[in-house]
Amino acid sequence: MTQLEELFKKDLVTNFGPDKMLPDLKFAEMEPGWDCGGGTYTITKEEVEKFAKLMGDSNTGEVNIPIGMIYIFGLRICWDRKVFIDQAVRAGDRITFFKPAKIGDTITTKLSIADKKEVQKEKDGKVRVNKFLFINMNATNQDGDKITDVQMSFLLPRTMQ
Amino acid sequence: MANVGDTLESKSISVTQDLINEYAHICGDYNTLHVDVEGMKDHPLFGGTIAHGTINVEPVLQALCAIQKTTWPLEGTMINLQFRAPVKPGDTIASKLTVKDTKSEGGKTVLVCDLAIANDKGTDCVKGNAEIPLP
């Protein structure tokens, strides 16, 4: 385990949510509002400094943490909750920023299905149906203040039924 | 005060497989697309590993703070992104924000911008738009 792995070890995050994970669902079962679960974590100064160094960010958290950290914790929760289906390709994000996050904050991130779409695409005389899934990732602090809302969209692998 | 047509401050990062691996370690996202260097060599779309989408976004997140002279985007800041092309190890990616309109909301000036994140070969890997309130 590298120093960074040790620093960001999984027990910093407490996960919660239904037993059933997203990849257990068929596409037809992926309905808007479905609760993918979530997690909580407390931001430490050490984590912030390491993250800033990795990303070359001059913000080392004296006032607010680097924004990308909210993303990175969210990603870990997404992975733990299996929101990221292997070979699914990220198509886009819509991010809205609210209150800043600070060292010592305990952040709760919740994930749910926002929408799904099937888009027909014709190429070389063949019609393909691309399946897209939209996931909401909402982060709040210990006072219930919104930190960020992110809506992620994914192109699902062709093997997804 | 920025005007329509102005290009705003840019930030860039150099992406390496080491950075992708470290990012995977800390976020736990070990999707084979990002970390399976050998297995991805024959991938029909990418022909190699690609960076996490959130790494692609990092330059614009840092640029937002630089533009607003803050350490966290002001409340109401919004970015909308579409990932158009993969970012691969070896790429240097930079944010491009161009003011296409301005509006007033809650007594603040909001810059409505076209947004792109381009690699050093001139490809826009991410395109989208942003609404950036000014302090």
pLDDT of residue B30: 82
Tell me which residue in A8, A71, A84 faces B25 most closely, judged by beta carbons.
A8
**Rounded Cα distance, B133 and B101, in Å:** 12
CB-CB under 8 Å, A7 with B71: no
Determine the Cα angle at A97 with ends A56 and A10, to 5°.
60
**Rounded Cα distance, A125 and B119, in Å:** 32
Give the tens place of pLDDT for each residue, B69-103. 999 999 999 999 999 999 999 999 999 999 999 99
pTM value is 0.86
Please, which residues have CB within 8 angstroms of residue A33's CB and are 6 or more apart in sequence?
A: A112, A113
CB-CB under 8 Å, A76 with B28: yes
Please, which residues have CB within 8 angstroms of residue B44's CB and are 6 or more apart in sequence?
A: none
Structure tokens at A35: 């609760």
* Interface size between A and B, measured as CB pairs under 8 A: 118
**Count of CB atoms situated within 10 Å of the CB of B74:** 20
Instruction: Classify the complex by whether its ipTM is higher than 0.90, answering yes or no.
Output: no
B72 three-state secondary structure: coil
Residue type at A108?
T
Structure tokens at B79: 């970015």
H-type alpha helices, chain A: 3-7, 45-55, 68-80
pLDDT of residue A8: 53
pLDDT of residue A93: 92
Residues of chain B with pLDDT under 50: none
State how far the alpha carbon of B82 is from the alpha carbons of A60, A100, B55, B56, in Å: 28, 24, 14, 11
Chain B nearest-CA residue for A91: B83
DSSP single-letter state for residue A82? T
pLDDT of residue A6: 56
Residue type at B89?
P
pLDDT by residue for chain A (161 residues), tens only, comes to 555 455 555 556 678 888 888 888 999 999 999 999 999 988 888 888 888 888 888 888 788 898 888 777 787 788 778 887 877 888 999 999 999 999 999 999 999 999 999 999 888 888 889 999 999 999 999 999 999 999 999 999 888 76
Whether A100 and A139 have beta carbons less than 8 Å apart is answered as: no
Chain B nearest-CA residue for A99: B75
Domain boundaries of chain A, sorted by first residue: 3-20+27-155
* Best CATH choice for the domain A3-20+27-155 from the list 3.40.50.300, 3.10.129.10, 3.40.50.1820, 3.40.50.970: 3.10.129.10
Q: Which domains does chain B have, with CATH numbers?
A: 53-133 (3.10.129.10)
pLDDT of residue A11: 55
A67 neighbourhood in chain B, CB within 8 Å? 61, 64-65, 72-73
pLDDT of residue A2: 54
Residue type at B104?
S
